[in-house]
Structure 1
Amino acid sequence: MPCVSTALIIGGGIAGLSAAVALARVGVRCEVVELADSPAGASIGLSGRVPEALDELGVYDALYAVSTRFDADTTAVSQRDSTGRILSAGPQRPQWPGAKTAIGVHRPVLLQILEDTAQELGVKVFKGVTADTSEEDDDGVAVTMTDGRQARYDLVVGADGIGSRTRAQLFPDGPKPTYAGQFSLRWMLPSAPVDGEGWYRGPVGRVGFYHLPQDLVYIPAVVDVPERARMSDQEVYSLFARLLDSYTAPAMVELRSRLTPDADLIGRPFEWILLPAPWHRGRTLLIGDAAHATTAHMGMGGGMAIEDAVVLAQCIAAAPTLAAAFDAFMTRRFARVSTVVETSVAMSRLELDDAPPAENMALASAAFKILGQPY
């Protein structure tokens, strides 16, 4: 029997829905509240031990059927220069017997599969609403929602992202997100395939792409921007155009020819946060980006959120008390996610310093070796 019976999960993104599925599978009755009405986003890569976590959630096969598969010989992580010449095959990733294939999936598809699975398990998902106020006593947490609904729970999980309101309430004097000095640009292009997938490095920034089964090309990019700024859609387009214009590689020239002002572009500043342990207070625990948001240099932010959810459910199922479950969770998670955040930030700084790509690859390879160990 799990050490709690009911849980409120604040946030219906990857971390929150994964937690709902994982906790429901060990017998916890869950509710999820999410302010956004519908999922949004670009693509996400899920590698390392994350496919095993997805299998534990019971969603790996469904995702595999609608994903790009990153086999050991994939070119999606290869490194090229601005002309298209291959520099390396990318960071070394450990293999182990029975390892499941890494996948790339359109984020709204991932979220929909997680939500459908959660609801099949009896999870209630409330859209357009979140927690407003809460009051804890010895028996649980009384929560009032923004729509006026009130309910009590044994456990509250804050999975409300890098700007977490839950984190601010729990740790008002805690750290705030830090700007890394770079912008993330993402483009979902409905298009025929383009030859030459992988990562390209040029004078303005780096850009890569791979294909998704839904006749989509996913094109992420990273550009140095010294000061954090809010960019308009036109400014994001102009920056992306300037980036692609800096390349002569045939694939980049082809992508530039398809870039139009009405393209589906997302531009966000790279920010990160690593909340010191513990990530809990009373009956409330933070997971995912609410506790450890990272830049995307390792491509493991979403994966760490999924692992958080699976490990939390394992701890809740095995521990005699909630306090013991939280202690076990922190013991298993803090060093692992610290590796991802700290390595990603270090890789970002190397790019800002224009260090040789081999230095970045060495950092990533060492971190992936650690992440190859079971979660």
Structure 2
Amino acid sequence: MIIGGSIAGLSTAIALSRVGVSCDVVELAEAPGGASIALSGRATQALDELGVYDACAAGSTVFLPGSTVVDQMDAAGNLISEGPKRPLLPGVKDAIGVYRPVFLATLQEAAQQLGAKVYRGVTARTTDERDDGVFVTMTDGRQARYDMVVGADGIGSRTRTRLFPDAPTPAYSGQYSLRWMMSGPRIDGEGWYIGPAGRLGFYHLPGGLTYIPAVIDMPERVHLTDEDVYSLFGRLLDSYTAPAVVEMRRRLTRDADLIGRPFEWILLPAPWHRGRTILVGDAAHATTAHMGMGGGMALEDAVVLAQCVSDAPTLDAAFGTFMERRHSRVATVVETSVELSRLEQAGAPTSENVGLLSKAFQALGQPY
């Protein structure tokens, strides 16, 4: 049983199915949603190992060498830095940017083709571990027994709460993420723009879409209405004179496809498992988006968990090996991302952020 049918859950279903484990996936959301996600470095290797890189790339923007998407510009559009240095990884596929609903649909189709069953609009209500397995009661009343349960139900994981009632709760970083899926003609100048009111970037996607993520400081965590998000995005865009951002401001309307969420994070102390249940992805190690590696870590979790389950003589041994391979790696992502958020809020020079990113990317260039 895999609880959660987003990136971590569906990729885990693919990985486990490929090593002969029958999987049921439950996901409360009726349909996949969200904005866009970029995957690079070892994350694209994980997609390749899952056998879905080509299918994902077909519906994505492929970032070829020389792309400006990581360039750092000032509010007027002048180049500050060409961005963090990433290690050259022989044989690793090109980075991609993909609209999240398209990505999740691709993962779900691949999982189902391998025999996994995906149930939407339903999740686990209770889990009862016994000597012969975990007995799960679903929110639709269905009951079933499973040899293993994977909690892939995100940063607000109820599986984590059931498994570890005293576990820490997600921490607020002091920043909000604003995202806009903009339709219309392409705008020149892909990259990141750093201004007095925050920072934003953009890249183009197939189908006439442009993904525009932004980050603003907000000392207190508050509830944002749709009108709040629109106003915040408008004020942010107004603080730039770069031609690309001026054109975005011209296109921003009240019915724009905007999302506003607090940047929160959690790094669950080891172990992430108890009995026959284990946590993966954001349920165990949610991060802010400052490194753009949260989705990649979920993909790596899936590949490594399947390898461990396939190779180990017992489930407990598999989980132990999984923890040895994963904890320090995801800690690098979470801790670096939180520090990058702190540096931004402190007004640190761009060079300090870029240097920290480059160091972390070098570490993550090692095999998972």
Which TM-score tier does this pair reach, normalised by the shorter chain?
over 0.9
Provide the C-alpha distance between the structure 2 equivalents of 1:231 and 1:155, rounded to a whole number of angstroms: 38
Q: What is the CA distance between 1:191 and its match in structure 2? A: 1.1
**Residue 173, structure 1, aligned to residue 162, structure 2:** no
Number of aligned residue pairs: 368
Provide the C-alpha distance between the structure 1 equivalents of 2:195 and 2:249, rounded to a whole number of angstroms: 14
In structure 1, stretches of 5+ residues that fail to align are 1-7
Provide the C-alpha distance between the structure 1 equivalents of 2:90 and 2:188, rounded to a whole number of angstroms: 32
Alignment partner, residue 299 of structure 2 = 306
Provide the C-alpha distance between the structure 2 equivalents of 1:200 and 1:371, rounded to a whole number of angstroms: 25
Q: What is the CA distance between 1:70 and its match in structure 2? A: 1.4
Alignment partner, residue 157 of structure 1 = 150
Provide the C-alpha distance between the structure 2 equivalents of 1:192 and 1:217, rounded to a whole number of angstroms: 9
**Kept in 1: contact 2:3–2:149 (CA 8 A):** yes
In structure 2, stretches of 5+ residues that fail to align are none
Alignment partner, residue 58 of structure 2 = 65
Q: Which structure 2 residues correspond to residues 1-375 of structure 1 after superposition, within 5 A?
A: 8-375=1-368
1:295-335 Cα offsets, whole Å, 9 max, x none, are: 00000001100110010000000000000000110000000
Provide the C-alpha distance between the structure 2 equivalents of 1:32 and 1:96, rounded to a whole number of angstroms: 33
Provide the C-alpha distance between the structure 1 equivalents of 2:65 and 2:87, rounded to a whole number of angstroms: 10
Provide the C-alpha distance between the structure 2 equivalents of 1:342 and 1:74, rounded to a whole number of angstroms: 27
Provide the C-alpha distance between the structure 2 equivalents of 1:120 and 1:69, rounded to a whole number of angstroms: 25
Q: What is the CA distance between 1:99 and its match in structure 2? A: 2.0
Provide the C-alpha distance between the structure 2 equivalents of 1:194 and 1:304, rounded to a whole number of angstroms: 31
The alignment partner of 1:99 has SS state of coil
The alignment partner of 1:83 has SS state of coil
Q: What is the CA distance between 1:96 and its match in structure 2? A: 2.2
Provide the C-alpha distance between the structure 2 equivalents of 1:66 and 1:226, rounded to a whole number of angstroms: 38
The alignment partner of 2:338 has SS state of helix
Alignment partner, residue 5 of structure 1 = none
The alignment partner of 2:23 has SS state of strand
Letter in 2 for 1:148: G
1:124-178 Cα offsets, whole Å, 9 max, x none, are: 1111111111111122111111111110001000000000000001111110000
Q: What is the CA distance between 1:84 and its match in structure 2? A: 0.2
The alignment partner of 1:351 has SS state of helix
**Kept in 1: contact 2:41–2:89 (CA 8 A):** no
Provide the C-alpha distance between the structure 1 equivalents of 2:223 and 2:310, rounded to a whole number of angstroms: 43
Between the aligned residues of both structures, percent identity stands at 70
Letter in 1 for 2:39: L
Provide the C-alpha distance between the structure 1 equivalents of 2:132 and 2:297, rounded to a whole number of angstroms: 31
The alignment partner of 1:265 has SS state of strand
Provide the C-alpha distance between the structure 2 equivalents of 1:72 and 1:280, rounded to a whole number of angstroms: 40
C-alpha RMSD over aligned residues:
0.6
TM (norm. structure 1) is: 0.97
1:193-216 Cα offsets, whole Å, 9 max, x none, are: 001110000000000000001210
Provide the C-alpha distance between the structure 1 equivalents of 2:139 and 2:62, rounded to a whole number of angstroms: 41
Provide the C-alpha distance between the structure 1 equivalents of 2:70 and 2:299, rounded to a whole number of angstroms: 22
Letter in 1 for 2:40: S
Letter in 2 for 1:272: W
Q: What is the CA distance between 1:259 and its match in structure 2? A: 0.3
Q: Runs in 1 of length 4+ with deviation above 4 angstroms?
A: none
Provide the C-alpha distance between the structure 2 equivalents of 1:225 and 1:163, rounded to a whole number of angstroms: 21
Alignment partner, residue 4 of structure 1 = none
Letter in 1 for 2:349: P
Provide the C-alpha distance between the structure 2 equivalents of 1:69 and 1:107, rounded to a whole number of angstroms: 15
Q: What is the CA distance between 1:118 and its match in structure 2? A: 0.7
Provide the C-alpha distance between the structure 2 equivalents of 1:275 and 1:95, rounded to a whole number of angstroms: 31
Provide the C-alpha distance between the structure 1 equivalents of 2:153 and 2:3, rounded to a whole number of angstroms: 6
The alignment partner of 1:29 has SS state of coil
Letter in 1 for 2:302: A
